[in-house]
Amino acid sequence: MEPVRFSGNPIVRPQDVAPSAPGLEVIGAFNAGAVQFGEETVLLLRVAETAKIIDPEYVPIVTADPAEGAVRVIQVPRDSPDLDMTDPRQIIYRGRRYLSTVSHLRLARSRDGRHFTIDRHATVAPRTPYEIYGIEDPRITPLGEEGGEGGRRFLVTYTAVSDRGVCVGLLETRDFVEFRRLGIIFTPDNKDVVIFPSAIDGRYVVLHRPSGSYLGSQDIWLAYSDNLLYWGDHRHLVPRRPGMWDGARVGAGAVPFKTPEGWLEIYHGADSQNHYYLGAVLLDLHDPSKVLARSRDPLMSPLETYEQTGFFKNTVFTCGVVPQADGGLRIYYGAADQVTAVADTTLDAVMDSLR
């Protein structure tokens, strides 16, 4: 059974988000990390911006200026033979590849988990040479107990994009006001990185997705660390399944959470038509390198209009699931790489789908 979508979806649309600077327009607010923070649900939205078209004969190309934390715009003649715009997600000009948008992270808060107040300014903007094409797809891992000794901290993994490749950065915050950069933890090409919310046998655990090789496939891997910064003991974990809904690629979605039966991970998969779905995989509590069960059919498919039409069609993609006190699971997901939506299911329903 598909999760129940909120009747007010999408809960965040591009027009709900203020541009980070004059001359820019927001064309996507999606793929949000999500976590419960006190009495509020907190989202870190990926906000994708581009330059407003001033002259229709020119195409604006945007990149970030790390020193200023702002977006830089260059104008390219639309009829230039050096311009390639066949893929809506990227622009190639004079042999150099750019993204068609630059993304930053923006905070949104809600008391009921459905109606959000969105900050007017960028929360985390590109600031390093590894982020000149933007920072994307955050996942938020809570570490420590609320009110416990030393307090609770939150780790934010994100995709850092530049002409040096696609790598993964790590942030730390305690209040969602101040964020500290801890550096690059996975080098190009890698993405879809989620850190487990507690150590296992004294080691931290992460899921990641290497990609870009002409050999192998885009599968989920697992690794361990003593300090959250240096990762090793890598294990191949969840492969794609040719011919199925996750036959083209798979990647970790939300931060895994503990259940009596194992660590439950809601992940995304794409088929041969580049349609994105959500499914689940259950990992052993004491040895998460062991897969106990996996969705044969998708947990969630792109069915609604806002999921089937948009910047990248037929896509549901989660970066955050918030467990509820009553056993429910609230899935925050990006739809068509353009808007944010929410759907509710139950732990029992997900577990039943794995049997």
pLDDT, tens digit, 9 for 90 and up, residues 220-245: 999 999 999 999 999 999 999 999 99
Which helix H or strand E contains 348, and what residues bound it? Answer: helix 347-353
Q: What integer is the mean pLDDT of 154-171?
A: 97
Q: Write down all domains in the chain, each with its CATH number in brackets.
A: 12-188 (no CATH), 213-218+231-355 (2.115.10.20)
SS3 at position 86? coil
Q: Which pLDDT value is given to residue 67?
A: 84
pLDDT at 147 over 70: no
Q: How many Cα neighbours within 13 Å face the side chain of 158? A: 35
Q: Count of CB atoms within 10 A of residue 226's CB?
A: 12
pLDDT at 216 over 90: no
Distance between CA 192 and CA 247 in Å, rounded?
A: 17
pLDDT value of residue 1: 83
Q: Within a 13 Å sphere around the CA of 251, how many CA atoms are in the beta-carbon half?
A: 22
336, 349 contact by CB (below 8 A): no
Q: Return the bridge partners of 51, or none.
A: 24
- pTM of the prediction? 0.95
What average pLDDT does this structure show over 29-40?
A: 97
